[in-house]
Each structure stands twice: as C-alpha cells, then as structure tokens.
Chain A
Amino acid sequence: MNTVVLTGIITSAIAFATPYLYAAIGEMFSQRSGVVNLGVDGIMLVGAYAGFFVALNTTASLGPMGLWLGLVLAALAGLLMGLFMSVISVTLKAEQGISGIGLYMFGLGLSSLLFRVTIGTVKTVDGFKPVPIPILSNIPVIGPALFNQSVVVYGAFLLVPLAWFVLERTTWGLKIKAVGQSPAAADSLGVSVNRVRYVCVCVGGMLAGIAGASMSLATVKLFQDNLTAGLGFIAVALVYFGGWRPLGILLGALLFSTITSLQNFMQVLNVGISPDLAVMLPYIVTIVALMFPINRARQPAALNRPFERGES
C-alpha cells in the first residue's frame, strides 16, 4: 500500500472520529449521572442543521466568523434539546429508552422540516479549513494526517483529557459519579441528584449539537435529510464499549472511524465487495463489540433509573 493511500486513510479516520468523540463524550457524562439519552442522533441532526443554516447565511458577510457562529448556535440548539430530554426523563421520570427514541424522532423530523423549508436543496459550505501545526505536520505519512486538521477536529481530541480531568479531578466529577452510582447516598449528603443530572444531560446535548455541526461544517460540509444516518446510536454504543471512560471511548471512536475510513477506501479502490454491503461493516462491528462484557462491571449502578426519594 503506498503512503499516499495510507495518509488518506488515517486523515479521514481522524476526521470521522470527530463526531463520534463529541457525541460519545457528551453521552458519557449523561450516562455517568444515570441517564441514558438515546436521542443523541436526533440532537446531532438538529445541531448539524442549526450550524449549517447559520454558516450558510452568514459566511458571505462574516467570513470564517460565520462558521464559529454556526458552531455556537449548534451547541445552543443541542443544549435546548438536552434540556427537553432532562425535563422528560429527570423531572417527569419517563422510561429513558422510549423517551430517547421520541427525542430522536423529534430531532429527525424537525431538522428535515426546517431544512426543506429554509434551505430546500443540498448545498455545501467551505467549512473549517485545516490548520497545520508547525513542525509536527512535516512528519512523513502521519504528520499531514494527524496534524493538518481543522480546529474542530483538534477540539474533539482535546475534549478527551478534559473530560477525564473533570470526572477524576474535580468535585463536580465526584458528584456526577456519585449520582450515577448511588443517587440515594448522594442525596443524603446534600447533592441535588436532579440538578446534577440536568447539567449532565444538557452538557451531553450541547456536545451532541457540536458533534452534528462538526459534520455539517468541518467533515462532510453539507446538510441533507438524515445526515448522521444513525451515527448517534453508534456513539451511544461507544459509551458502553468504552466502559464509560474517556480513554476507552477514544479508542473505540478511533476503531470505528478507521473501519469507516477503510470501508470508504475499499469503495474507491474497488476491492470487489459491494459498497452497499461494505457500509454495514461499522454497524456489525458495533454489535460484535457489544458482545464482549469486558467493561460491563463499570456500568453506573443507577443507569436508566429515575431517582425518587424514599425508593432504594
């Protein structure tokens, strides 16, 4: 395999990992506090649309600032969706699996509705430009692949140590873990279980919004109906796969993005496998990965259980 192809595969693998990372790290916070948010895919779609719509209409006047504005709006839209989810699943104590699917359908419909009314046809934006990091980007093969990416991509990878720091080295992280592990105990020590869960689900929503925008503004650079195609669900699976830890999620995201990237190159290089079947690969790998219970013991004990005082 020549080095150009290798660089190409790594470059796109890193880019593909970006939405996975934002969405899965966000979902990790949500799940560590005990709330499964299955609506990630829907939130990503709304975020992707919001970011794209703003960028499309402002880059003419604002230039690259329009992209940043789009990213901020996407985060805000994601935050609102997260807030909606927390009202339903924390305050109203709804079954989280079903409400997540409801949120997914809502996000899918809303993004498609708004897209068809306000944009109509598939358009593209220039998107975030790659920013080469001096010296490092000159390393052969991996240099241009790892260190010549856009800011949004770097941000996703910086999010991993940041998430680790928040979880393991701050009081907030301790509270999140306590609420997810033993809400009754946390409650008895004066931690507001619902408030912690609200914050976590909202942060998760915000990151899912950014994940969507990272696709529509940085990696795919367009918006269409169902742009994410179930990527948000893979992100949820990554949280299980990564054992609810940032590093595990990073490894999982890289694994899946590499498979996706390989599958794309297989199509381009015409290996002889039907491209329609090759697309299935990441999804099948997800199922297989979930079969190995390496990390199941790490699952937050109160996952998927609404908290109510006086119930164990």
Chain B
Amino acid sequence: MAKIDQTTVVRRVIDPAFSCRLSFAFWGRITILLGMPPAISPAIRRTQRKIRANWNDIAFSLTLPLLAVLFALAVGAIILLLLGVNPLDAYAAMISGAFGSVQGITQSIAKATPLLLVGLGICIAFRASVINIGAEGQIILGALAATAFSLAFRTLPDWLLVTLTMIVGFAAGAFWGFIPGILKARFGVNEILSTVMLNVVAAQILLALLKGPLMDTQGVTAGTFLPQSEQVPGSVWLPRLVPQTLLHTGAFVAVILAIVVYVFLWRTTIGYRIRAVGLNLDASRYAGIRVSIYQMLALTLAGGFAGLAGVVEVLGVTHRLLEGITSGYGFSGIVAALFGGLHPLGAIPASYLFGSLLVGADKMQRAMQVPSSLVYVLLGLIVLFVVGSQYYARKRATRRASTTVTTVEEEVATA
C-alpha cells in the first residue's frame, strides 16, 4: 500500500464510509457489491483491534444491563413484599424453575427462540432509528400465513414444504412491517402509533379467522368450537432436539440468522446505510442515502423476522394456530434486543436470559401462586432502567472516543 498520511488512517478508523471509499479504489466495484469487508493493512488492523478490544469498555457495557436487572429485581422484591410474598422464595422458585432441571433449560431455549428472532428484527429497526412496536402483529401474520400455507399445500415434498412455509411466513410478517414502513416513508405517519394499531388489527383478523374459515373441523363436530386451527401436517413439524421436551431445531435457525444479521448490518453496504441512518439522519441524507427507503426496508425486515418467530412457534411448539400464539413475545423481544445492546450476537444470550425469566415465572406461579404478570413488571422496569442508563453510557463513549483518536494518531506517528 502506498504511503498513507496520518489523517487518512484516523478517518479510516473512525469513519467506515471513508474506509469503504478507499477499498473501492483497491478492489473495484466487486467487493462492495458482494458486501465484502474493505481491504485494510495489518498496521491499521492492529490499531483497530486495540480500539475494539478495550476490556474496560466491554466490562462497562455489560455492567449497565446487569445493574438494570438487579434494580428491576429489587423493585420487584419491594412490590412482592407489599403483597405479602417473600421475594427471596419467589425468586428462588423462579431460578430453580428455569435452571434447575433439563426440562427448565430446554424450555427456556424453546422460549428464547422466538424472542431471538423478534429481537433480530428489533435490532435492524432500532439501528435505523425506527421504533417497531408491531412485532406482536407481525408474529400473528407470520403464524397465520404459515398455518394456512402448510395446510393448503400439504402434498408438497417435506423439505420443500418446510422451506416454503418459512419463506411465506417471513413474507407475511414483512408485509405487516412494510405497511407502517410505507406509511412512514410516504405519508410521514409515526411508526410507533401505526404499529401499535396494526397489532390490534392483526389480533382481530386472527380471531375472526380462527372462529371462521380456519377453525378446526374436529372442534366443530365435537361441538367445542375452540378458536384454534387444525394441526399443521406432521411433515412440517420441526424435529425435537431432546425428546419429551419443547426444544426444537428452530433454535439453530435463530442462532444462524443472528450471525447472518450481524454480517448484514456490519459487513454489507445496505446494512451500513441502515446503521448510518440511525446514527445521524441528517448526515445520511446529506451523504445521499435515501433515508425513508432504508427506514422502510428496516421495518420490513423487522416484520419478516417477527413473522418467522410466528412460523417457528407454530411449526416447533404448538403445531397449530392458537388465539394466544404470540405469548407477548413481540414485547419481550424488544427487551431482549435492547438488553443485548441492539447487537444481533448480543441478542443471543439476552434472549436466553429472558426465555429463562419467562419459564421461571411460569414455574413460580405454579409453586408460589404469584401471578406470572410479575414478568411484565420486571421487563418494563428493565427497559426503563436500560434506556435510562444509556445517556450516561453515551456520554462516556464520546469522552473516550475523543481520547482514542489521539492515541491512534500517536500510534501512527511512531510507526
């Protein structure tokens, strides 16, 4: 590589757009089209690594969410005390329920799967600074489409049917995310409000269909008229990883997709633009990024992943469409994503944590007669504490970033 002056290096480290442009010169159009990482010399890579692997920063970013959980548990304990329940017993029941048995652990992973999928969508949306509250509705649409499709085309070969069902479910969820997306891009409709409204609309569509065309014929002949669909064909059931438990292969799908989303957001041009829009709207617009298109895309993708969560829930756990198919995953998924620092890989452990929390709360309800609604109290508090602490985290980051740039400058000067 030719001689690079100091400012180039610094700009390259702190400004990915600039770094993209450099690689453009080296590798031509192909690398960018393929979304490959830009070429970087070993010297710069070393300094970059130094910046990234600052253990203090990593420890700090882990501490805040954990503190938020501790705070939430403390407030929850006060509420339990006021209700005359011993919080230590309740929390002990929760922990042993979630981690104390194979059943609990596998169930936690099974619950973490839809949370992770929803969380991945939330990561994409929030990174583009669009707030998608519509995951509940998008889950419903995905589950609905998957059920209807697999029932209608049950004669297709197994592998094809499963694949197509997943794609159809993704598309249906994406459609439900596209609506607020286009409304925002075209008419400037606030996406928070439109997604909340669409949640109710989706829930009502589901109810109407379950009481009408999709109702299980067995329920009709037996006279129970339960609002649930027929079982989906056995060929689309996701295999159980551990027999006699709820753990199914959907968990693998979710983890693989988490890696895909990570690569998408951090190693492709489209992903970079989505993040740029979220970091600074005006600067992105000035740089020629079509902000509204990318926000629409982010909402659509978020909807797709939530839809996939619905598919996995039907194919992996319930095997039929039920009224309460979302189980509130649309909201807990937001918490998991926030807790994972809006990072697809961070969302993996975060989803497992919240999956365990949900399972633990169910067990606690059975053991201690404490309503599992306590989970929502805790989730709400965690959200509030996490976003409440972000301002100070941001402040600290800007302070440290200004010192990092000077260290890089020194590094380059001595090299």
**Residues of A at under 8 Å CB distance from B?**
38, 42, 84, 87-88, 92-95, 97-99, 101-110, 112-114, 116-118, 225, 229-230, 233-234, 236-237, 240, 274, 276-277, 279-280, 283-284, 286-287, 290-293, 296, 306
Contacts and interface: CB of A to CB of B under 8 A. Distances in A.
A290 B189 contact: yes
Contacts of A110: 79, 373, 376-377, 380
B16 to A, nearest CB: 23
B79 A113 contact: yes
Given A102-B383, A283-B200, A291-B189, A117 B371 contact: yes
B131 A296 contact: no
Interface stretch (B58-66, B111-119, B202-210, B308-316): B202-210
Given A98-B387, A106-B380, A234-B197, 5 more contacts: A94-B390, A109-B380, A240-B193, A274-B208, A277-B204
Contacts of A118: 83
Contacts of A112: 371, 373, 376
B377 A109 contact: yes
B192 interface: yes
A142 B204 CA distance: 33
Given A109-B377, A112-B373, A116-B371, A95 B199 contact: no
B199 A101 contact: no
Nearest to A36: B192
Given A88-B384, A113-B377, A290-B194, A230 B338 contact: no
B388 interface: yes
B259 to A, nearest CB: 25
B183 A291 contact: yes
B331 interface: yes
Contacts of B100: none
Given A284-B197, A293-B188, A296-B188, A105 B376 contact: yes
Contacts of A102: 380-384, 387
23 contacts: A88-B387, A92-B389, A95-B387, A101-B131, A101-B133, A101-B331, A101-B383, A102-B381, A105-B376, A106-B384, A109-B375, A109-B378, A110-B377, A110-B380, A113-B79, A237-B193, A240-B193, A277-B204, A283-B200, A284-B197, A287-B198, A290-B194, A293-B188
B131 A97 contact: yes
Interface string B256-276: 000000000000000000000
Interface in B329-371: 331, 334-335, 338, 370-371
Nearest to B381: A106
Contact of A276 (B131, B187, B208, B389): B208
A249 to B, nearest CB: 15
Interface of B: 79, 83, 126, 131, 133, 183, 187-190, 192-194, 196-201, 204-205, 207-208, 211-212, 331, 334-335, 338, 370-371, 373-384, 387-392
B407 to A, nearest CB: 26
B384 A276 contact: no
Nearest to B72: A106
Given A110-B79, A274-B212, A94 B192 contact: no
A31 to B, nearest CB: 12
Contacts of B192: 38, 97
B193 A290 contact: yes
Give the interface SS of chain B, mostly helix, strand, loop or mixed. Answer: helix
Contacts of B190: 237, 240, 290
Nearest to A296: B188
A230 B188 CA distance: 22
Contacts of B384: 84, 88, 94, 99, 102-103, 106
Contacts of B382: 102
A235 B233 CA distance: 43
B225 to A, nearest CB: 14
Given A99-B387, A277-B204, A291-B183, A106 B376 contact: yes
A98 B342 CA distance: 13
Nearest to B131: A97
B217 to A, nearest CB: 19
Given A88-B384, A283-B197, A290-B194, A101 B334 contact: yes
Interface centre among A42, A94, A103 (most CB of B within 10 A): A94
Nearest to B371: A116
B83 A117 contact: yes
A230 B376 CA distance: 16
Contacts of A101: 131, 133, 331, 334, 383
A307 to B, nearest CB: 12
Contacts of A95: 387, 390
Given A113-B374, A291-B187, A108 B380 contact: yes
The 4 closest A-B pairs by CB, nearest first: A109-B376, A106-B380, A102-B383, A105-B380
Contact of A116 (B194, B212, B373): B373
A99 B378 CA distance: 14
Given A230-B200, A283-B201, A113 B193 contact: no
A84 B387 CA distance: 13
A84 B384 CA distance: 9
Given A101-B334, A276-B208, A293-B187, A113 B373 contact: yes
Nearest to A96: B387
Contacts of B188: 293, 296
Nearest to B75: A106
B387 A109 contact: no
A262 to B, nearest CB: 16
Contacts of B374: 109, 113
A178 to B, nearest CB: 24
A268 to B, nearest CB: 18
A286 B373 contact: no
B391 A287 contact: no
Given A109-B380, A276-B204, A287-B183, A230 B371 contact: no
A97 B376 CA distance: 18
Contact of B377 (A88, A98, A106, A276): A106
Contacts of A291: 183, 187, 189
Interface centre among B197, B199, B204 (most CB of A within 10 A): B197
